[in-house]
Amino acid sequence: MGDTLHDLTRHNAWATVQVLKYCQGINESDLNATVPGTYGTIIQILRHTIDSESSYLFRISGAWDEFPWARDEEVCLETLGQRAAVLAATWEQFLSNDIDTEQLGEAKGDDGDVFAVRGSIFITQALHHANEHRAQVCSILGALGHEPPDVSAWGYALASGRSWLTRPSSLL
């Protein structure tokens, strides 16, 4: 599989950092804004995204003896950035080992039912969930008149050296 899982998790980490950095430059009012169809305000979405990713990674990686931080509602962007860095490093460490994507973990449904879940599904959910919520943040930013950051896989590929320009359009 080569670098596939690494690219997926590195894109995820990079994209989260791009959104966090962008949001450091907006005012408090905009951080507390929302639009219909999103999870909540920008800051609530970012907190939820980081907390959820840590929960998924906690359940499959064995990197921590217990959940790595309190799920408090009042953490700031700086703290979220620090937590995002911990998550990125933990993904790198986790993926540097042989991983059993078929290992079983547990998840609870909204009504309290407990489900057996394969490790690969926790990875899939972590990446999907973060993409979904970053898109919501970008939607709110756009609705407020901001130009959201490019968090696409193409943007990541260029920023990380996984893609590069071979022929400028001016030469075509």
Q: Is residue 150 part of a domain?
A: yes
Nearest one of 108, 135, 110 to 37, comparing CA atoms:
135
Q: How far is CA 136 from CA 124, 126, 140, in A?
A: 18, 16, 6
> What's this model's pTM, rounded to 2 decimal places?
0.93
Q: What are phi and psi of 105, to 5 degrees?
A: -130, 180
Q: Is residue 172 part of a domain?
A: no
CATH number at residue 139: 1.20.120.450
- Give the number of domains in the chain: 1
Q: Are 129 and 53 in contact (CB under 8 A)?
A: yes
Helix (H, G, I), strand (E, B) or coil at 105: strand
Q: Token match 């400028």: residue? A: 168
Q: Is residue 171 part of a domain?
A: no
Q: Is residue 95 part of a domain?
A: yes
Q: Is residue 100 part of a domain?
A: yes
Mean pLDDT by runs of 10 across the 172 residues of the chain is 84 98 97 97 97 93 86 87 97 92 92 95 97 98 98 97 91 72
- Quote the domain boundaries for residue 95: 4-165
Task: Give me the pLDDT at residue 158, please.
Answer: 96
Q: Are 142 and 37 in contact (CB under 8 A)?
A: no
The whole-angstrom separation of Cα 55 and Cα 125 is 11
Task: Give me the pLDDT at residue 128, please.
Answer: 98
Task: Give me the pLDDT at residue 172, please.
Answer: 67
Task: Give me the pLDDT at residue 76, please.
Answer: 94
Task: Give me the pLDDT at residue 102, please.
Answer: 94
